[in-house]
Structure 1
Amino acid sequence: MDPTPRSVRRLRLLLIASAPALLVVYFTVPLGTFGPGHPGLSWSVFTLLLTALATLLLREIQLLMLDSVRGRPGLGVPLLILLALLIFAVAYLSLARDPGEFRGLHTRVDALYFTVITMSTVGYGDIAPLGQSARVVVMLQILYTVVFLTVGGAAVGQFLRGRLGERARQRHPGPGPEDRSSG
């Protein structure tokens, strides 16, 4: 059963509203539970979140590649990429509570900035991972970006190109098979 235009619009609005909601949660949620005082819990939650996120990303990528989104607007992958950014930012902020892990990372904005800079592979050098745990998380983020987020971005691009191509063909239909055979 195909979704109705109304349900598609509702889903789009929900996905679009989710991005600011995730940012609000990131900037307001108390993070005292994570960090050097609770390493077992911190690493367990981090691993669980990355595993769940990878599973969701792979599912979304598969749906996009099979073109079976059933009216979903292809916003799931970008939303999951934002969620990945926030998970890594929380990890960096939690690690920065240990004085030997980071130089220059003190606030949530610093952590989000460092996460975006790391994901984009720019690296200005104003914030640097010094400790072993911080370096491990940075390496994980780089690998995560290369493996999951790049493939997810490519899948969204392919999906959007296909949708734009369909719309262009609907607006400007070319000659049909019967027109091509005559002549």
Structure 2
Amino acid sequence: MTDDLARPGRRAALSAVARSLVVSSGLVLAYYLLPMDTPLNGGTVTGLVLGLLAVTALFLWQVRTIARSPNPELRAVESLAAVLPLFVLLFATSYFLLERSTPGSFTEPLTRTDALYFTLTVVSTVGFGDITAATETARVMTMIQIVGGILLVGIAARVVVRAVEAGRHRRDSESG
């Protein structure tokens, strides 16, 4: 009987991990498969801004679902598995398109993998220095990513933790 009570938790955890992997993998797969023939111009910059607004809206919606979830901890993991890769891939796409439209924007030409690598070194604050922003536009975009990353890690992490706490409190008050 005790084993039966533990299974739904395990099942829910495995399901959350599986969904997280599928979402993250799907986003990376889309990044590599979607055509990116448009150079970075006013329309693609608008796309970046709209993309950042969409990531923010997705994050706020995810916070709400975390607080209302019967398993807020698992929902938080799933939420971060969607928001973080989307943020990273949005900037990787922007850097890739910028390099295509303005060659020399970075210290070396960027493939999709190079753009993703650069984005991850910036967001993780590792900054190996092998690829750097060489033009003012590339530097501005990188600064926006740095600020966005700080906000995502600092403020968003705190908001997610509070949503998990609210979800636990709601769940505990409903069950007892």
| Contact in 2 for aligned 1:103/1:130 (Cα 8 Å) | yes
Match of 1:120 among 108, 121, 124: 124
- Of stretches 42-51 and 74-83 in structure 1, the one that deviates more from structure 2 is 74-83
- SS in structure 2 of the partner of residue 32 of structure 1: coil
TM-score, normalization: structure 2?
0.74
- Percent of residue pairs identical: 29
What does 1:68-83 correspond to in 2, within 5 Å?
68-71=68-71, 73-74=75-76, 75-83=78-86
- What do residues 15-44 of structure 1 show as CA deviations (whole Å, max 9, x unaligned)? 431111111111111111242xxx111111
Partner of 1:106: 110
- SS in structure 2 of the partner of residue 51 of structure 1: helix
How many residues are paired up? 154
Runs of 4+ in 1 over 6 A off after TM superposition: none
| CA shift for structure 1 position 156 | 4.4
Q: Which segments of 5 or more consecutive residues in structure 1 lack a partner in the other structure?
A: 167-183
| Contact in 1 for aligned 2:55/2:87 (Cα 8 Å) | yes
| CA–CA separation in structure 2 for the residues paired with 1:149 and 1:30 | 30
Partner of 1:16: 21
What does 1:16-165 correspond to in 2, within 5 Å?
16-35=21-40, 39-64=41-66, 67-71=67-71, 73-74=75-76, 75-97=78-100, 98-156=102-160, 159=164
| CA–CA separation in structure 2 for the residues paired with 1:102 and 1:69 | 43
Question: Which structure would you say has the larger RCO, counting Cα contacts within 8 Å and 6 or more residues apart?
Answer: 2
Supply the RMSD in Å over aligned alpha carbons: 2.9
- SS in structure 1 of the partner of residue 68 of structure 2: coil
Q: Which segments of 5 or more consecutive residues in structure 2 lack a partner in the other structure?
A: 1-7, 172-176
TM-score, normalization: structure 1?
0.72
Change (3 A) 1:134 1:8: same
Change (3 A) 1:89 1:18: same
- SS in structure 2 of the partner of residue 125 of structure 1: coil
Structure 1 counterpart of 2:62, which letter?
E
Change (3 A) 1:108 1:91: same
- Which structure features the higher share of helix residues? 2
- What do residues 40-93 of structure 1 show as CA deviations (whole Å, max 9, x unaligned)? 1111111111111112213323554xx323446221123211110000000011
| Largest Rg, 1 or 2 | 1
